[in-house]
Structure 1
Amino acid sequence: MKITRTYSRLAKEAASLLGKEIQLARKEKAWSEQTLAERIGISRTTLQKMEVGDMTVAIGLVLEAAVILGIPLFVSESPSLSQSIRSASDKLTLMPKRIRTKTKKVKDDF
């Protein structure tokens, strides 16, 4: 049985925008769909779905396409992505304990 998912309007618009950014960057570089698809390691059909914002395309593939094309993601050039990850991790560490999920005790008595 196929699972039908629903997505918010904002999520759909974000996928559509990123797809259009990928298509625009590809065309600005004068790359064919086949050329970009080969660089990413996907089929041309998957790339076409990506460019129209199809929500079934794996996010990793979309991000890889954006990186290959030089599309900036999440942050500007000044702070590095690793710094942003570290900052988010630091903030998560400072969150009250009740927000974090509890870890289960390991039963190691055999």
Structure 2
Amino acid sequence: MKTEKNAKHSDGNDKVTSPLPLPVERAIIKLGHDISLARRRRRISQASLAERMGASLSTVRRMEKGDVRVPIHFIARALHVFGEIQSLAELLDTARDDIGLTLMDQQLPKRVRNKTPGTGAL
């Protein structure tokens, strides 16, 4: 899928959006390919997956092609059908966000002092 195709919304609006960064586009295309592979390995037809997801056949086809306009809830539904919904739930687990935790640690005070009596401390 070319990023130029994503320049306009699919609802007919002429509102121009910024093109997707190439790594984002590649990741979405890979995810679609992986969903297709997972479906075929489980011997599930596209029609059956669509029915189990509560989606249309065209949505499943677009999702497997890496169409960026497929809403994330359909991807979540596909993961649920495959028994992989936990991987989405843990995608950006804040307890394991090394960068975020490091940034928070940098903001910690160098030392903590007890408040002196009479300054409002209990």
Shorter chain as normaliser: what TM range?
Answer: 0.5 to 0.7
Paired residues, number = 91
**2:51 corresponds to which residue?**
38
What TM-score do you get using the length of structure 1 for normalisation?
Answer: 0.65
What TM-score do you get using the length of structure 2 for normalisation?
Answer: 0.59
- Which ranges in structure 1 are unaligned for 5 or more consecutive residues? 75-79, 97-110
Residue 3, structure 1, aligned to residue 15, structure 2: yes
Task: Return 58-67 or 20-29, whichever deviates more.
Answer: 58-67
Could you list the per-position Cα deviations for residues 65-109 of structure 1 after superposition, in whole angstroms to 9, with x for gaps in the alignment?
1232245736xxxxx839924455x84xx385xxxxxxxxxxxxx
Could you list the per-position Cα deviations for residues 42-83 of structure 1 after superposition, in whole angstroms to 9, with x for gaps in the alignment?
000000000000000011211321232245736xxxxx8399
Query: Which structure would you say has the larger RCO, counting Cα contacts within 8 Å and 6 or more residues apart?
Result: 1
Which among 62, 86, 90 is matched to residue 81 of structure 1?
A: 90
Structure number with larger C-alpha Rg:
2
* Matched-pair identity in %: 26
In 2: Cα distance, 1:3 partner to 1:15 partner: 22
In 1: Cα distance, 2:28 partner to 2:91 partner: 23
Deviation for aligned residue 1:18: 0.4
**2:71 corresponds to which residue?**
58
Could you list the per-position Cα deviations for residues 4-27 of structure 1 after superposition, in whole angstroms to 9, with x for gaps in the alignment?
432111111011000000000100
**1:102 corresponds to which residue?**
none
